[in-house]
Structure formats: structure tokens, C-alpha cells
Chains A and B, each alone.
Chain A
Amino acid sequence: GENVEQHPSTLSVQEGDSAVIKCTYSDSASNYFPWYKQELGKRPQLIIDIRSNVGEKKDQRIAVTLNKTAKHFSLHITETQPEDSAVYFCAATYNQGGKLIFGQGTELSVKP
């Protein structure tokens, strides 16, 4: 089937610590795995993405890793700041990229 599982559902860290969010996907996923950030009352926005021919991608304090064998990918945020507090969603594409399926979301809280 087409499924994306995301953990944890909530995550609380101290400012300056790192945060890691993990997702697993089912067999039939295509080659594109994006991460979105949704601030309270706002629309989701892309923060980073990775394609299945790449194992890791970094953008300043954010990195994503992909393990194709285990069928999981993770979001890493280093040196967290209060403005990182939001809900984060992972996603995977199915049906040759036509379907974009999201995980259940992780509510990240960064305490100053």
C-alpha cells in the first residue's frame, strides 16, 4: 500500500539542542521525499527535499538523510531556535510521482 509513518508525534527540546524526526515509507514510493513546516495558522511550506539517488542533503541547520534499504528518511535540525517551533510533515510520492502522501506530523516545541 501507500503509507508514510512519522515519529514522534510531539518533540520538545531546549534551545540549542538538536531535533530528529523519522519517517518510514512503504515499498511503492517513488523517488522524491520532501519535508514541510507548518507554523500555527499558516499553510505548509517546503523546507528541504531529497531524491532517492542521494543519501543526504544539507541546508544550513537542516539536513535530511535517506536510507533506501530500510525505507526510512529523517529530518535533522541542529542548534534549534524558538522560531523552529512548528509542525513538521514528511511526505513521499507514489503512483509515478502523481500522489503526494504525508506523514501524520510532528509538533516540535523549542523551549528558550
Chain B
Amino acid sequence: NAGVTQTPKFRVLKTGQSMTLLCAQDMNHEYMYWYRQDPGMGLRLIHYSVGEGTTAKGEVPDGYNVSRLKKQNFLLGLESAAPSQTSVYFCASSLGPSRGTEAFFGQGTRLTVV
């Protein structure tokens, strides 16, 4: 039981490049989340999903897209990376409010855009 796994752990991108971050969970969780963490800003919600095939915008969705084609995977895409997207990205998953709502986090992805 690996929990929540993020790929990759580190990445350096040039401005304008694209990339996809993968989040995989093996706990059969319905809810999945993508956050970014910047100094002094806490954890800000980018997008989230309440089930396979569904996604919704969070607090800071601009510049990001997501997909949840399979229940266990939640992908975060950057179509044209900008230096402002330099951050640590965390994925999380949970069973949802009706079944216990603890969110389990991945180990994080440190992304630098130069």
C-alpha cells in the first residue's frame, strides 16, 4: 500500500514548456486535490475532483488543467509554464465527507521554471 505517489519529484522547466504531473493513489479514494505551496502563502487549492471523470476549479486554477480519467489517477498539466508557477506541488486524496475526510498527501513535486 503506497498511499499517494507523485511523479516526478523534481523538475526544471524553461518558460513556455509544458509538462504533466501525475498523482496516483491506491486507497480507492473518491476525492483528489492538487495544491501549490509557496512561502507565506500556505497550501492553495488549484483543482480538485470528487470522482472519476469530474474536475472542478479551486482557488488558483489559472494556467493549469487537470484530468481524472481513472479513479486512482489525477493529472495536473501546465500548458505553457511561467516563472510564477515555480512552486512545490502537492497532491492529496480522501474518502470524502460522508466516509471520513482525512486527506493523505503525496511527497510533493518541486518545480522550477526558468
Contact = CB atoms under 8 A, between A and B. Distances in A.
Interface of A: 2, 6, 9, 30-32, 34, 43-46, 49, 89, 93, 95-105
A89 B45 CA distance: 13
B102 to A, nearest CB: 5
Contacts of B101: 32, 34, 49, 93, 97, 100
A12 to B, nearest CB: 17
A101 B41 CA distance: 12
Interface of B: 31, 33, 35, 40-45, 48, 50, 56, 58-59, 90, 92, 94, 96-98, 101-103, 105-108
A97 B106 contact: no
A96 B97 contact: yes
A98 B31 contact: yes
Contacts of B92: 100
Nearest to B49: A98
Contacts of A105: 40, 42-43
Nearest to A98: B50
Given A32-B101, A44-B105, A98-B50, 10 more contacts: A34-B101, A34-B103, A43-B107, A44-B43, A45-B105, A46-B103, A98-B48, A102-B42, A103-B42, A104-B42
Nearest to A90: B42
A79 to B, nearest CB: 25
